[in-house]
Amino acid sequence: MAKGLLPLLLLLLTARLRSTCCSLTRTKACLDELSGAEGYTVLMVADPGEFSGVPEAVHFEESLQNPVYIPRGSLLCPRVTVGKLMGQPTIVATSGIGPTTAALCAIDLAKCLGSRFKELIYVGTSGWSAAVGGILNPDNCEKANPTHKITRLGDVCVTPMSMNWNCKLADWIGQAKGYPDLCFSPEEINGPTAAYLYGDCIFDTHTAGSLALADEILAASITSSSIRQAPLRNTFLQEYEQEYFAYISASTNRTYNLNSKKTPTVYDYRQCVEVDSQFFYSGVPWEITARNYTALTINQAFNSSVTPKDVVAVSAMEAVGVAQAIDAYNALNATKSKIPYVFVRGNSDWLHQPVTKSANGTWTHVSPELPTVFTDGYRYAIATTSNVVLSLMSQRCKELTWSTNSLCVYTIDYS
C-alpha cells in the first residue's frame, strides 16, 4: 500500500466509526458542555422519582452551581446535569432503574469523557439485613441472634464491590426445603462462583483507586460537619422502628436503644457488599442467602475469613451493571486512566418482616405483617446517602487553595 494512502484511509475509517458505532456519544454534549474541565466527579443515581416519588438526585441537583441540562436523547443517560459542586466539576446523572440502564449510562459517559472521567459514585436506596449477622442463622435455629448491632433506617453502606444474587442453579424443592420454618438456607446446585454458567457474578476485583475513593468517602462521613448535617429520622420512621424492633426484641430477648437523636451508621466494604437482583424479595431465607454472598465476595476480595454472622446484606439492582461496564472500559487497551467507582447505598427498608417463634418451635413472620414504609424510608435514605457524598465534596472543597468557607457549605432539605 502506498504510504500516501494510509493517512487518508485512517481518516475515512475514523469518520466512518464516528458516524456509526460512536454517534451516540460524539454529540454536542460531549464536545461543548462537557469540555474544559480537568476531571469530572460523576454522581449517578437510578430513580428519577418513578418508584418512590422522590428523585434520588434531588439533593445533588439542588447543590449544583450554574447547572447545565444536557438535552434528553444526547446520551444514553435519561437525565444529565453538569455544573460545579462546591467549586468542583461535577456531573449528576440519572441512569434509570435496573442494571442494564445503569451500565449503558456509565459506559456512554466513559466513552464521552475519556480521561476527564475522574470517578464514579453511584448513590441510592436499598433493602438491608435487620442486624449485623441477621436475625436468624441456620446453624442455630433454637434462638435468634442476640446481637445488639441492629441496622437502622438511613444507615449507609460504602463499597466498591457487588455481586449478582440471581446467579444460582436451583430447583423449588431445594429453595423451599425448610418451609414453613423460616430458619434455613435455601439449597443451590450451583452458586455465583459458577461463571461458566452465568458469566461474571462477583465483582470483587477492585482497583486501588476504588478502595482509596471508598476510604476517602468513609473518612468524610465521620467528620464533625458530616455528622452535624446528617438528617434525623422523622416521627413516622421513629415509630415504625420502635414497632419493628419491639417484635424483634421479643424473639431475641434483648432491648434495643433506638435513640431518636442517633445519626445513621456508615458501614464499610469489609462489612457490606451490594447484592443485586431485580427480584424484590422479602423473607429470611433469601436474606440469609444474601449474607452468604456478601461474606463470599468480601473473602474473595481480601482473602479474609468473615462469615455471614459478620456482615450486612444490602440489596439493590444497579451496581453489577455499573461494575461490569466500567471494569470492561478500564480493561481496554485505549483506556489511558482507569475510572475508580464506589457504591453508596442507604437503608430504606429491611429484607424481611419481624419474626417470631411459635409454640411448636417454628419460626414465622409476625401476624399481621407490618405495612411497608417505602415512600418515607426511601426519602430518608436518599437524604442520608446524599449527606455522606456531599460531606466528601465539602472536605475536598476545604482543601482548595482558592475556596472560601461559604463555598464549602451544603444543606440537606429533609423533613
What is residue 39's predicted lDDT score, i.e. its pLDDT? 93
Q: Which of 155-159, 243-247, 402-406 has the highest mean pLDDT?
A: 155-159
Q: What's the average model confidence in pLDDT over 354-381?
A: 92
pLDDT higher than threshold 60 for residue 18: no
* Least confident span in 122-136, 196-210, 227-241: 196-210
Q: Go through 109-134 and write b for each residue having 16 or more CB atoms within 10 A of its CB, e for each that does not.
A: bbbbbbebbbbbbbbbbbbbbbbbbb
Q: What's the average model confidence in pLDDT over 222-236?
A: 96
pLDDT band at residue 155 under the 50/70/90 scheme: very high
What is residue 342's predicted lDDT score, i.e. its pLDDT? 98
* Least confident span in 51-65, 371-385, 399-413: 399-413
Cα distance between residue 394 and residue 404, in whole Å: 11
pLDDT higher than threshold 70 for residue 121: yes
HEC secondary structure over the chain: CCCCHHHHHHHHHHHHHHHCCCCCCCCHHHHHHCCCCCCEEEEEECCCCCCCCCCCCHHHHHHCEEEEECCCCCCCCCEEEEEEECCEEEEEEECCCCHHHHHHHHHHHHHHHHHHEEEEEEEEEEEECCECCCCCCCCCCCCCCCCCCECCCCCEEEECCEEECCCCECCHHHHCCCCCCCCCCCCCCECCCCHHHHCCCEECCCCHHHHHHHHHHHHHHCCHHHHHHCCCCCHHHHHHHHHHHHHHHHHHCCCCCCCCCCCCCEECCCCEEEEECCCCCCCHHHHHHHHHHHHHHHHHHHCCCCCHHHCEEEEECCHHHHHHHHHHHHHCCCCCCCCCEEEEEEEEEECCCCEEECCCCCEEECCCCCCCCHHHHHHHHHHHHHHHHHHHHHHHHHHCCCCCHHHHCCCCCCC
pLDDT, the chain, mean: 91
What is residue 52's predicted lDDT score, i.e. its pLDDT? 80
Q: pLDDT digit string (tens) for 234-255?
A: 999 999 999 999 998 988 888 8
pLDDT higher than threshold 60 for residue 395: yes
Q: Please answer whether residues 41 and 396 qualify as being in contact, where contact means their C-beta atoms are separated by less than 8 angstroms.
A: no
In the chain, what percentage of residues exceed pLDDT 90? 80
What is residue 17's predicted lDDT score, i.e. its pLDDT? 36
Q: What's the average model confidence in pLDDT over 344-360?
A: 95
Q: Looking at the domain covering 29-169+190-355+371-408, what would its CATH class be?
A: alpha beta
What is residue 19's predicted lDDT score, i.e. its pLDDT? 38
Cα distance between residue 44 and residue 183, in whole Å: 37
pLDDT higher than threshold 90 for residue 258: yes
Cα distance between residue 77 and residue 101, in whole Å: 8
What is residue 254's predicted lDDT score, i.e. its pLDDT? 86
Across the strands, what pairs with 182? none
pLDDT higher than threshold 90 for residue 315: yes
pLDDT band at residue 276 under the 50/70/90 scheme: very high
Does this model's pTM top 0.75? yes
pLDDT higher than threshold 90 for residue 397: yes
What is residue 14's predicted lDDT score, i.e. its pLDDT? 42
In the chain, what percentage of residues exceed pLDDT 70? 92
Q: pLDDT digit string (tens) for 22-49?
A: 333 345 567 566 766 789 999 999 999 9
Cα distance between residue 35 and residue 39, in whole Å: 10
pLDDT higher than threshold 80 for residue 53: yes
